With several copies, the nearest count.
Chain A
Amino acid sequence: MTMREAVSSFVHDGDTVSLEGFTHLIPTAAGHEIIRQGRRGLTVVRMTADIVVDQMLAAGCVSRLVSSFVGNSSAGSLGELRRRVEKADPEPLIFEEYSHYGMICRYLAGAQRLPFYPLRSYGGSDLPSVNDGLRKVTSPFPGPDGEPEQVYVVPPVNPDVTIIHAQRADRSGNTQIWGLTGVQAEAVYAADKAVVVVEEIVEDEVVRSDPNRTVIPSHAVDAVVACPRGAHPSFAQGYYDRDNAFYRAWSGISKDPDRLRDWLKEWVYGTADHAEYVSKLGEEFWDSLAVGEAMSLPVNYGRRLG
């Protein structure tokens, strides 16, 4: 399936869309295609709301954000996000604030079809006063001191669609990720539909040579999209490195609404698809993000003889 078809089939106005990938394998190309197709009123669920979220906000796709970190990595601020939150400029943004593990536990609950997930966070925090999703449960088992024990819980999140980026999958959707695997499996299992964007679609034999590497089995995947370099400016371990210069540049671009609009015009609306974005960046650029070789040593999955 092409990215255009995947977004057109699985992302609708008003949907709750999870985009996951913790610094590694951020599904940027999918975010750009959502912008190109002009989706509106989305609820975006993403632990680290970073550049791609700022871009989707600027393009007017997003009315609600569920996140645990709204910043441009350690490289600065997200200009559009701050304008939306601080000044409702050009329009308000509904924001649900969690911590990282709170978000992880929401995916865990969603993936496991649980009504809530307990965690040992939030005691004494002001967050429960601004987030109705943070509630407490009394354990039916006595605590260490024999007294009743309370623990915070978060509700499940079940996105209409989760989109992730991965290194590779086979045609039927068995998806392999290495390096940082983040919360991608949980985000996919929590969702009603799942789209996996990959650097490459590989032969069945490649995947089946190492079934433990399959982080997401095909039964949980609704569409596989081949989109090389689709995680830029984030990285894909073993494929290309992080574009740290772009992260640093984004604070400046996003601080100025005109510059941000121009950037979107040139790099998103001005490119028909991610392949055009990639070629517009040029081979010399991609050479600067090239990675070396550090191959895993094989293990033997051999079965009995005969």
Chain B
Amino acid sequence: MTDSTTTTDVTSSELLAVVASRELAARRTVFAGIGLPTLAASLAHLTVAPQLEIVYESGVCGAHPSHLPETIADAVLITGAEAVLSMPALFGYVLQGGHIDVGFLGAAQIDKWGNLNTSVIGDWDAPKVRLPGSGGAIEVMANSREVFVVMRRHDPRSFTEKLDFCTTPGPDRAVEEGLRPLGTGVTRVITELGILARAGVGEELTLVAVHPGVTVDQVRENTGWDLAVADTVETVRPPGADELRLLREDVDPDRVYLR
């Protein structure tokens, strides 16, 4: 995908984790699922956000895992954690209460406003593919100050003009319905091609950076809507030696997610 020589020895997971980690600079609380978000948050904790507290939807606050967790409820997250809350407290007080700075989400489909589909491909009533559904994504979107989306696949089917189903609406859709969401919705989408950004309600996702060797046209071609492009598109700084060393040696030495 990214054919620049500076990143040839970097896997796609490493690239996404490093880029996402940088976006967490100076953040206090992050709501993270397992996988890339955990890698990104753990790396940020060691680099740009030493005060970062990772909150898991299972109820764990301030985990200090001895090993990288394999699930959001891995026992290693509980042993030695600062707090484990019931789910009503976690979703009600912590998340809906407005204590999350950044929520991480993924999706099968995303549109230009950052609305997400994780329910079905095809019709909801008779789907071609039944996907897992919201989980806590609707709540993460509605209540986090901002949301980062990490998408491994950047193609027109995933980055679509019209979602097959809107499971998880961004605040634009909520405002249309007359409700007042707390946060700004998706502010960053990090993919193998680059970074899309969005400043707030009423704004659409805009290409702000590409990885070395990726062209703006490549991103446009792989996006299913007429992609807005920033006046100046930056080139993403490739993962540094320090970042890669920490990620490989400290965060995920067993390469649980860095496949």
Contact = CB atoms under 8 A, between A and B. Distances in A.
Interface stretch (A54-62, A118-126, A273-281): A118-126
Contacts of A208: 64, 80-82
A172 B50 CA distance: 13
Interface string A17-40: 000001110000000000000000
Majority SS of interface residues in chain B?
A: loop
**Chain A interface bracket (under 10, 10 to 19, 20 to 34, 35 or more):** 35 or more
B179 interface: yes
Contact of B73 (A23, A126, A151, A304): A23
B79 interface: yes
Contact of B87 (A71, A112, A182, A211): A182
A239 B237 CA distance: 46
B34 interface: yes
A101 B73 contact: no
B82 A218 contact: yes
B225 interface: no
A144 B99 CA distance: 19
A244 B127 contact: no
B75 A241 contact: yes
A297 interface: no
B96 A112 contact: yes
Interface in A42-69: 48, 67-69
Interface stretch (B128-136, B146-154, B207-215): B128-136
Interface string B56-90: 01111110101100111111101111111111110
A132 interface: no
B134 A127 contact: yes
Nearest to A179: B78
B240 interface: no
A261 interface: no
B84 A189 contact: no
A301 interface: yes
Interface in A248-306: 291, 294, 301-304
Nearest to B85: A217
A303 B94 CA distance: 26
21 contacts: A22-B73, A23-B72, A24-B73, A70-B130, A73-B71, A85-B127, A86-B128, A97-B133, A100-B135, A113-B98, A114-B96, A120-B182, A123-B174, A127-B134, A170-B82, A174-B82, A180-B59, A219-B28, A219-B55, A241-B75, A242-B73
- A-B pairs, 3 with minimum CB distance: A124-B173, A23-B73, A124-B169
